[in-house]
Amino acid sequence: GDVAAQGVRAALRQRYLRGLAAARGRPTRFCLREGVWVDAVFGAADVDAVAFQVDALRTPLGVQAAALLRCADVLAYSFLL
């Protein structure tokens, strides 16, 4: 029961972290609330899933060299391998 669930949890988490590693440095589109989306280069995510660190965030006022996107504001993101 608990031991099996913990093993599955570890396997799921490991695959997720490998996915984050694969995202690093890739152009990524973030879909935010209220139909807004932004393009940036994926940097990193914190372990508690509070925020994403991105580089080269494109905004209507220009490109921000570095930024933090709060996970609560992000609905989804995608990138190409």
Binding site for another protein (CB under 8 A): 4-6, 8-9, 12-13, 15-16, 18-19, 21-23, 31, 33-35, 47-49, 71-72, 74-81
Query: What order of strands is seen across the sheet that includes strand 37-45?
Result: 27-32, 37-45, 51-59, 62-70
Report the distance separating Cα 23 and Cα 15, nearest Å.
13
Q: Which is nearer to another protein, 8 or 63 (CB)?
A: 8
**At closest approach, how far in Å is the CB of 81 from another protein?**
4
Q: Which is nearer to another protein, 45 or 57 (CB)?
A: 45
Q: Among residues 30, 33, 34, 35, which one has the least CA distance to residue 45?
A: 30
